[in-house]
């Protein structure tokens, strides 16, 4: 289900005594989720009390990644509070809205802890970029939430259909990605090309030789067009934490190619830091699947989505089908980049935001403050049972797990 426009504002009570501002707390656990959380809370404005905290985990971002995730936001130049998972419940106290901007297991733990609070906040979650395909796993982890935020009309339809099929009574909201600045359809920049930026995706392509082929194509472009600066903008250096495990980091693969003398070594530059620093007016973007492509489109830059390894849900790039941006490695070597189809833009991430996100969230904050939000005990119990099954599968050796299952099934048998 989708939430229609809601517009309510705080008003003074008792004469000159203003109502306490709503407090929103975002919980993140990785660099990409931290970037999303900071940008989202920044978009709400100063009328909210805002805090972003990090949950300590194996994917906790480094100081460099934190600095790259926060520029232009109220956390720029500052470090977010870092807490252990055991400190979640006390950290949630006093929040009117909790945005669980984190990986699935952390979201589930945040929502579970909040659901046990006597005065629970509104519980919202979102994915930090392109959210196709819509998966049961994503919504299962977020089953205790009041609302799930999508970032396009196409995403909203996909997740609404899935939530209905799963019988989850959860609002599916639509909001622009917070780091897209254009008010509607971005206008293409028409300037001579001076740089090409490749945005890797940690999960795809999967195979080593596929990733090597991309690097070789980038190197071929650099040799063919020596006036261009060809860069690989990494989310993390090899060995540093990321939201998703990257089996074959591109910087390590490049070092291997240089060592094998398959490339000269000077063709490509590798960098980290904010993506916005790479999106200059004379740049073009290439990727297999990355939200960075949307940031490039937002800046009016030409983009190339590689389909050599598939254009599918498995490659996380099916959403770009029909975008007008799809090409192959031959197009990359030739320097052929594209601007998007206007019809695709309207349905995918570049719709006009008629109702700001803060107005949508006020409705939930008011209900939370009035004590009108509660978690269905059956839903909470179902989540706890699933968490226990998952923990048993992880902790217990196979023979012990089989014994637990036999005992549980025996208890279910009629007398």
Q: What is the largest CA-CA distance in the chain?
A: 81
What mean pLDDT comes out for the span 36-45? 96
- Give residue 87's pLDDT: 95
What whole-number percentage of the chain has pLDDT above 70? 89
- Give residue 396's pLDDT: 45
- Give residue 17's pLDDT: 56
Q: Mean pLDDT score of the chain, rounded to an integer?
A: 89
Does residue 144 surpass a pLDDT of 90? Answer: yes
- Give residue 397's pLDDT: 55
Q: Which fold has domain 23-180+352-375?
A: Rossmann fold (3.40.50)
User: How far is the C-alpha of 325 from the C-alpha of 102, rounded, in Å?
Assistant: 29
146-170 pLDDT per residue, tens: 999 999 999 999 999 999 999 999 9
Does residue 244 surpass a pLDDT of 80? Answer: no
Q: What are phi and psi of 172, to 5 degrees?
A: -110, 110
Band of pLDDT at residue 414, cut at 50, 70 and 90: very low
| Ranges for all domains in the chain classified under CATH 3.40.50.2000 | 23-180+352-375, 195-347
- Give residue 392's pLDDT: 55
Domain 195-347 has CATH 3.40.50.2000: yes
Band of pLDDT at residue 119, cut at 50, 70 and 90: very high
Output 337 or 376, whichever has higher pLDDT.
Answer: 337
- Give residue 240's pLDDT: 82
- Give residue 13's pLDDT: 38
Predicted TM-score (pTM) of the model is 0.86
- Give residue 374's pLDDT: 92
Does residue 11 surpass a pLDDT of 60? Answer: no
Band of pLDDT at residue 4, cut at 50, 70 and 90: very low
- Give residue 171's pLDDT: 96
- Give residue 352's pLDDT: 87
Secondary structure, 3-state, the chain: CECCCCCCCCCCECCCECCCCCEEEEEECCHHHHHHHHHHHHHHCCCCEEEEEEECCCCCCCHHHHHHHCCCCCCCCCCCEEECHHHHHHHHCCCCEEEECCCHHHHHHHHHHHHCCCCCCEEEEECCCCCCCCCHHHHHHCCCCCEEEECCHHHHHHHHHHHHHCCCCCEEEECCCCCCCCCCCCCCCCCCCCEEEECCCCCCCCCHHHHHHHHHHHHHHHHHCCCCEEEEECCCCCCCCCCCCCCCCHHHHHHHHHHCCCCCCCCCEEECCCHHHHCCCCEEEEECCCCHHHHHHHCCCCEEEECCCCCCCCCCCHHHCCCCCEECHHHHHHCCCECCCHHHHHHCCCCCCCCCHHHHHHHHHHHHHCCCCCCCHHHHHHHHHHHHHHHHHHHCCHHHHHHHHHHHHHHHCCC
Count of Cβ atoms closer than 10 Å to residue 205 Cβ: 20
Instruction: Please state the separation of Cα 17 from the chain's center in Å.
Output: 39
Of 54, 53, 48, nearest in space to 24 by CA: 48
What mean pLDDT comes out for the span 307-316? 95
Does residue 292 surpass a pLDDT of 80? Answer: yes
205-238 pLDDT per residue, tens: 999 999 999 999 999 999 999 999 999 999 888 8
What mean pLDDT comes out for the span 316-330? 97
76-111 pLDDT per residue, tens: 999 899 999 999 999 999 999 999 999 999 999 999
* Axis-axis angle for helices 377-395, 398-412 (nearest 10): 150
């Amino acid at each position: 289900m989708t939430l229609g426009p809601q517009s309510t504002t705080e008003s003074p009570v008792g004469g000159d005594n203003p109502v306490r501002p709503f407090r929103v707390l975002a919980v993140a656990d990785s660099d990409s989720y931290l970037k999303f959380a900071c940008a989202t809370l920044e978009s709400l404005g100063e009328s909210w009390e805002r805090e972003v905290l990090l949950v300590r985990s194996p994917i906790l971002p480094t100081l460099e990644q934190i600095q790259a995730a926060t520029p232009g936001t109220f956390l720029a130049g500052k470090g977010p509070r870092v807490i252990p998972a055991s400190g979640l419940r006390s950290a949630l106290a006093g929040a009117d809205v909790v945005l669980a901007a984190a990986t699935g297991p952390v979201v589930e733990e945040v929502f579970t802890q909040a659901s046990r609070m006597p005065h629970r906040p509104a519980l919202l979650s979102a994915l930090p970029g392109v959210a196709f395909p819509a998966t049961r796993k994503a919504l299962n982890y977020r089953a205790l939430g009041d609302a799930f935020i999508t970032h396009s009309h196409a995403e909203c339809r996909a997740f609404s259909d899935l939530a209905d099929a799963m019988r989850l009574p959860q609002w599916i909201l639509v909001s622009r990605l917070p780091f897209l600045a254009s008010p509607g359809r971005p206008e293409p920049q028409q300037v001579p090309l001076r740089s090409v930026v490749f945005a890797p995706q940690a999960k795809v392509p999967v195979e080593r030789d596929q990733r090597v082929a991309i690097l070789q194509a980038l190197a071929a472009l650099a040799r063919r067009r020596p006036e261009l600066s060809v860069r690989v903008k990494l989310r993390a250096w090899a060995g540093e934490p990321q939201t998703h495990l990257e089996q074959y980091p591109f910087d390590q693969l490049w070092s291997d190619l240089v060592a094998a003398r398959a490339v000269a070594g000077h063709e490509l530059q590798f960098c980290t830091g904010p993506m916005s620093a790479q999106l200059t007016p004379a740049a073009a973007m290439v990727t297999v699947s990355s939200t960075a492509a949307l940031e490039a489109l937002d800046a009016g830059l030409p983009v190339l989505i590689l389909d050599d390894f598939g254009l599918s849900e498995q490659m996380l790039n099916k959403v770009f089908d029909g975008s007008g941006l799809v090409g192959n490695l031959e197009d990359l070597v030739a320097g052929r980049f594209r601007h998007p189809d206007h019809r695709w833009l309207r349905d995918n991430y570049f719709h006009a935001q008629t109702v700001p996100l803060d107005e949508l969230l006020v409705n939930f904050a008011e209900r939370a403050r009035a004590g009108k939000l509660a978690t269905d005990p059956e839903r909470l119990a179902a989540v706890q049972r699933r968490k226990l099954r998952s923990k048993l599968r992880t902790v217990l050796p196979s023979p012990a797990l089989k014994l637990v299952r036999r005992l549980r099934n025996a208890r279910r048998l009629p007398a």
